[in-house]
Structure 1
Amino acid sequence: MSDITVRPLRADDWERYRAVRLTALQESPDAFVASYEEESAEPEEFWRHRMERSTRLLAERDGRALGIASVGSANEDQPEAAQLFGLWVHPEARGTGVATALVRAGARSAAAAGKRQLLYWVGTDNGRAVAFASGFGFRPTAERRPMRVVSEDDGEEELAMTLPLSGDRGGIPQL
């Protein structure tokens, strides 16, 4: 089996991103704020604009899409931080290192953009997501917000977990 590769998508890759994103929305409808019905109806202009707003990462093996993630600005109050969001891995590829490869690529992308930390929001009741993020080196913060998508796995609240990208990484291995 060949290795997993992760690459940032260019603006011209909008159709590839759209195809994988729509697959993610169909396969895991409860994981996203948007729905397949909403986004599948969007025109090319919507998708091109989306490609410019954030870095879109695509994980592949032998040219087959395995997962996606996005990295963008956290918020105006935290200019030193980037945010990882929209992480999805094809069910057949779960547990094979795809999510780790996407998060690692996201962290590298954020660090290359001069960000000092990467935020990742997870449901407070989603033990699997919290464990994954913790295992990668993310640490919980005091920051909480209502879930944007309420599910049984995640609960009603999510917390920001943070990964230091520069300086003293507290024993966290290099990205």
Structure 2
Amino acid sequence: MSEITVRPLGEEDWQQYRDTRLTALRESPEAFAATVDEEQAFDEDFWRLRMTRSTRLLAERDGSPLGIVSLGRSDERPQTSELFGLWVSPDARGSGVATELVRAGANLARQQGQTQLAYWVGSDNGRAVAFASGFGFRPTADRRPMRVQGDDEDEVAMVLALGGDRGSAPVEF
């Protein structure tokens, strides 16, 4: 089996991001605040602008998309980047794709001089909490309502320290 590769997408890759994002929305509608109908209606200018607002990382094997995640900056915490929109194709789940996407996001944030990486996880989503914890993310006291439509669960901010000591406590979030 070929290696999983992760690469950042540029503005010129907007169609590939759009196609993968729409696939994610169709496959896992419960995981996103947006709907496939809403996003399918957006034009090229919207998608190009979206590509410039955050870094989009695409995981592939042999040129076929396996998953995506976005990396943005926190408005409130200038030294913190935030992972969001993580999705892995069902046939690639459990094969290390999510790990490679998060690792690439953490490395990119570190290269950009960030000291922390935040990842909002549904507090009742034991699998996601375990995945993030295993990666080194630690829960904070920060909570917010889940942004997914029709869900009354809350999300917890989990933070990964990007310094040399991954076991160090995150700065208060």
| Structure-2-length-normalised TM-score | 0.94
Q: Percent identity?
A: 66
Report how far residue 92 of structure 1 moved.
0.3
Correspondence 1:78 to 2:83: no
Report how far residue 170 of structure 1 moved.
2.0
Equivalent residue letter for 2:136? G
Unaligned residue ranges in structure 1 (runs of 5+): none
RMSD: 1.5
CA contact (8 A) 1:80 1:116 kept: yes
What do the CA deviations read for 1:64-94 (whole angstroms, capped 9, x no partner)?
000000000122x210000000000000000
Correspondence 1:63 to 2:68: no
Distance 1:19 1:150 in 2: 22
CA contact (8 A) 1:150 1:156 kept: no
CA contact (8 A) 2:81 2:114 kept: yes
Corresponding residue SS for 1:148: coil
The total of aligned residue pairs comes to 169
The equivalent residue for 1:27 is: 27
Distance 1:3 1:10 in 2: 22
Report how far residue 168 of structure 1 moved.
2.9
Correspondence 1:37 to 2:37: yes
Report how far residue 35 of structure 1 moved.
0.5
Corresponding residue SS for 1:72: strand
Correspondence 1:146 to 2:145: yes
Query: Residues 15 and 118 of structure 1: is their aligned pair in 2 closer, same or farther, counting only changes over 3 Å?
Result: same
The equivalent residue for 2:103 is: 104
Equivalent residue letter for 1:80? Q
Correspondence 1:5 to 2:5: yes
CA contact (8 A) 1:89 1:99 kept: yes
Unaligned residue ranges in structure 2 (runs of 5+): 169-173
Equivalent residue letter for 1:127? G
